[in-house]
Amino acid sequence: MLTVDFTRFPLRPGDRVLDLGCGGGRHAFEVLRRGADVVAFDRDTAELENVAAMFAAMSKAGEVPEGANGTTVSGDALDMPFPDASFDHVIAAEVLEHIPDDVTAISEIVRVLKPGGFLAVTVPSFLPERICWALSEEYHTAPGGHIRIYTLAELRAKLKAAGLRVGPHHYAHGLHSPYWWIKCAVGVNNNDHPLAKAYHELLVWDIMKRPAATRIAEALLNPLIGKSVVVYARKPA
């Protein structure tokens, strides 16, 4: 399940891409499949071990174009171990809402991005996130959880203040917002609740089968209740 739209964020073979806060690696895997070199960066070493194993499995299965390479690096988003202007593209998907000093994190992104390079940043969109916070204190007070709710205007302003040229945006995962509202209502960790379990099975079915009916439904829901907002920006050349 991708949040970044790669038709709006085109990659070329040989591009060097940073997936900041890669988590389970969903965007890093797609970058690698498209023939770019990707560095999956996260502070969670256990997640990175799984990502590295998946990179190896993809290569063995012939899913990686010749010359493309995927690596993992552990570190702090506020002090990344990369030289200035190291990457052609940076992806920061569902990361900034976890970082208390998001301004420094954005500055670090700009530092490691090459002049003329592109950034795709995604955060939870305002309305669905606000409902989650209202339904569940546990949702936003758990260690490592979301510490802020961005408005689109706030996110765009912070990117502009860092010197980026902010471009278009869109919303994603409209079908997922009701799932999180259910989870917040019945208990964030109550995965066995019948309603939460049934909706999760629907989402898994949708991800695997991608039927036309749910694709149309999500396209209609995204501008209204899309779980994530995606903003694209460029560092001036």
Model confidence pTM above 0.85 = yes
Burial environment of residue 186 by CB neighbours within 10 A (0 to 12, 13 to 18, 19 or more): middle
pLDDT given at position 70: 98
Domain covering 16-125+143-173+226-234 in this structure, CATH number: 3.40.50.150
pLDDT given at position 90: 98
Q: Where are the domains of the chain?
A: 16-125+143-173+226-234
- The residue with tokens 């903003």 is 231
pLDDT given at position 147: 94
pLDDT in tens, 137-180: 999 888 888 999 999 999 999 999 999 999 999 999 999 999 99
pLDDT given at position 143: 86
pLDDT given at position 142: 86
pLDDT given at position 81: 98
Answer for the pair 11, 37: CB distance below 8 angstroms, yes or no.
Answer: no
Q: What distance in Å separates the CA atoms of residue 109 and residue 232, rounded to the nearest whole number?
A: 13
pLDDT given at position 173: 97
pLDDT in tens, 44-54: 999 999 999 99
Task: List the chain residues with pLDDT less than 50.
Answer: none
